[in-house]
Structure 1
Amino acid sequence: MERNLFNNRKTIRRGRRSQERKVDLDLTLVEMFERFMVVKKSEGLGERTIEDYQTHFRYFYEFLEGDLPSDEISIDLFREYLAFMIHDKGLKPMTVNLRVRTIRAFMRFCYTEGYINEPIHEKFKPIKVPEDTIQSLTPGEVKLLISSIDDQYYASYRDKIMILVLLDTMVRISELLEIKRRNVDLKAGFIQLEAMDTKTRKARIVPLSSKSIKLLTEYMAETEDFGSELLFLTYDGRKLTANTFRRNMMEYGDRAGIKNKRVSPHTLRHTGALFYVMNGGDPFSLQKILGHSDMSMVRKYIQMTNSDVKRQHNSFSPLNRI
């Protein structure tokens, strides 16, 4: 983060200092954050993760209305910030928690390095989020979405392929846009995601269905003349941005008449996970495909409606064995 964002320091609150632990360095909040970012960048984190740290710190800094010396940093400040985000700004719980997690990591670093006395990260925790809040698309809605795309033009044809591949592989949009042509093995039927292109910074292989293999075979043949290593490009051969694709998806959703649901790449990831399980896939292979190390994260991707549960129960009821 540029240093000039934090000029004209304004001290607004004073915290308590514990006498049990000495601070090694007398740094301001901004100076600590600058050291924190040096460490994070050295860890090889993705560009988006680095930007999130900077953006979320900027929000906190704006709330404080300026920089603070280390002896004025207390848990009370962070509790006030939490209340400000929830009640004053009216942010959704998931948005609040995204900001809390990055600032909490920063505070853990400050305490571990001896820049502050108080283990603020132990008390400044994410708030509870209601479960089953992410609405997946139904099979009928997916068909409407696909049929709303006029694929006689390159951009819409590319988008159609991307939507189907996203649904099939359940990769993140950031991962999809970094796929190189060399990463696609049509003969073996999988895509190799390189470590530097995944959110977890771990390479993984995602399988392709026979339908995706056929679609990608045709698409790659038609786009060979671009001469680029990237798989998905703009009509003039430049790298496609995630925001452009998100806007296109919203437009397709409007055309398809899908109301009260967010039509986005992330929705497709959740929809694909739900369809995978509903079609008989097991959660352990799904965990590997999604790239999650924690099964609890997989649980969040499988949001079944009551009718989904009823349909599964009819197929797998214990009484079917009797």
Structure 2
Amino acid sequence: MTLTERLSMSELWQQFFFHLRAKRRSKATLTYYGCTQRIFGRFLVSAGLPQEARALTTAHLRAFMRSLEAGGLAPGGVHGHARAIRALFNWAHREELLAANPVQRLELPTLARVRLPTVNVELTKRLLAVSKTQGQPLRDAAMILTLFDTGVRVQELASLRTEDLLFERGLVRVMGKGHKERFVPIGGRAMQAVSAYLRRERAAAHAGVQHVFLGRGGLGLTKSGVTLRLLRLGECLELPRSACSPHTFRRGFAVEFLRNGGDVFTLQQIMGHANLEMTRRYVTFLDDDLKAAHLRFSPADRL
């Protein structure tokens, strides 16, 4: 029996994690796959299934997904674990660690297309107004406008350093997923808000602190720190948590960019999407614009 034939699931996961680290995948990505590894491992033991990777079949993987559904996991959670399993076995097959690929015929569960909330212009104005009542009003206003005007991810915002503010060029430099650097345009109002915060309110704990957005202690805000500030501002307006999360700003930027005449190809570059299909999803948010276009070009009305 060859080494690949004796390869256990534990060893296969270990090699997959080596691959992910070599590709410099984020800590969140590693945590995501680690969660599936633990749950899938417990399933194999409880179901008395083989521990050798080559012995697992499509039927075994379908049984795993059914067990998740029977355990009450939401469809989105089942879909997430299924994607992780697909990524693992597709990689193993490409690397010739497995002769057969059990996920080749594994269907992902169908997810309902639920419209997620977005931040719009009116809500942004309300958040800016309430930020004036907070302990660090200039910082909060600068964060709100930067998120809404650039569409950066929350981790990208939290990681911004003063050297990344290329305001003379109207850009900010961000480090995206996979440690991919990109330059994102930023408008005049957002730049003014950030500049006012830097001049009048930002107080670093020491000279070595280079992060743009700081907490009360003078150290850089973390990803969770930014999220908490946005949620607190939303609570002041009695908004649900889902209405003021960092990603609602990202979605809001994309929708407003398209609504104001931007094209999906430019939007893809700004948002740092790996493929255009990810960007095209935001077109579905333009219901009012599609209705207006139909009013102008309705075939029946033109009879």
- TM bucket by the smaller chain? 0.7 to 0.9
Structure 1 counterpart of 2:113, which letter? E
Give the match's secondary structure for 1:239: coil
Work out the CA distance in 1 between the residues paired with 2:243 and 2:54: 44
Structure 2 counterpart of 1:128, which letter? T
From 50, 53, 61, the equivalent of 1:78 is 61
Q: Deviations over 1:194-233 (max 9, x none)?
A: xxx3114322110010101101111222326443121122
Work out the CA distance in 1 between the residues paired with 2:241 and 2:28: 28
Query: Is the 8 Å Cα contact of residues 172 and 266 (structure 1) preserved in structure 2?
Result: yes
**Residues 1:61 and 2:14 are matched in the alignment:** no
Work out the CA distance in 2 between the residues paired with 1:63 and 1:30: 13
Q: Deviations over 1:225-258 (max 9, x none)?
A: 4431211222112232222322332332232133
Q: Which residue in the other structure is 1:44 paired with?
A: 24
Structure 1: segments with no counterpart, 5+ residues? 1-20
Work out the CA distance in 1 between the residues paired with 2:212 and 2:275: 30
Q: Which residue in the other structure is 1:189 paired with?
A: 170
Identity, % of aligned pairs? 23
Say if 1:141 and 1:224 are closer, same or farther in 2 by CA, change over 3 A: closer
Q: Which residue in the other structure is 2:261 paired with?
A: 280
Q: Which residue in the other structure is 2:282 paired with?
A: 301
Give the match's secondary structure for 1:57: helix
Say if 1:151 and 1:126 are closer, same or farther in 2 by CA, change over 3 A: farther
1:39 Cα deviation (Å)? Answer: 1.9
**Residues 1:27 and 2:11 are matched in the alignment:** no
1:24 Cα deviation (Å)? Answer: 2.9
1:309 Cα deviation (Å)? Answer: 2.6
Q: Deviations over 1:251-285 (max 9, x none)?
A: 32232133595321111100111011112222221
Q: Which residue in the other structure is 2:79 paired with?
A: 97
1:130 Cα deviation (Å)? Answer: 3.2
Say if 1:97 and 1:239 are closer, same or farther in 2 by CA, change over 3 A: farther
Structure 2: segments with no counterpart, 5+ residues? none
Q: Deviations over 1:99-138 (max 9, x none)?
A: 2222212112333344444302322343333335222234
Query: Is the 8 Å Cα contact of residues 161 and 210 (structure 2) preserved in structure 1?
Result: yes
From 220, 223, 227, the equivalent of 2:202 is 223
Give the match's secondary structure for 1:267: helix
Q: Please identify, of 47-56 and 257-266, the stretch whose mean Cα deviation from structure 2 is larger.
A: 257-266
Work out the CA distance in 1 between the residues paired with 2:123 and 2:75: 26
Query: Is the 8 Å Cα contact of residues 259 and 286 (structure 2) preserved in structure 1?
Result: no
Work out the CA distance in 2 between the residues paired with 1:144 and 1:165: 15
Work out the CA distance in 1 between the residues paired with 2:146 and 2:254: 13
Q: Please identify, of 121-130 and 234-243, the stretch whose mean Cα deviation from structure 2 is larger.
A: 121-130
Work out the CA distance in 1 between the residues paired with 2:91 and 2:274: 23
Q: Which residue in the other structure is 1:119 paired with?
A: 101
TM-score (norm 1): 0.80
From 128, 138, 144, the equivalent of 1:146 is 128
Q: Deviations over 1:30-84 (max 9, x none)?
A: 1211121112212222222222221222232233347823354222221122223
Give the match's secondary structure for 1:286: helix
Query: Is the 8 Å Cα contact of residues 180 and 231 (structure 1) preserved in structure 2?
Result: yes
Work out the CA distance in 2 between the residues paired with 1:104 and 1:110: 10
Say if 1:267 and 1:123 are closer, same or farther in 2 by CA, change over 3 A: same
Say if 1:261 and 1:235 are closer, same or farther in 2 by CA, change over 3 A: closer
Work out the CA distance in 1 between the residues paired with 2:107 and 2:2: 24
Structure 2 counterpart of 1:107, which letter? F
Query: Is the 8 Å Cα contact of residues 162 and 210 (structure 2) preserved in structure 1?
Result: yes
TM-score (norm 2): 0.84
Q: Which residue in the other structure is 1:208 paired with?
A: 186
Work out the CA distance in 1 between the residues paired with 2:130 and 2:42: 43
Query: Is the 8 Å Cα contact of residues 151 and 160 (structure 1) preserved in structure 2?
Result: no
Q: Deviations over 1:141-196 (max 9, x none)?
A: 33233333345512x54233212211110011111111111011111110012xxx
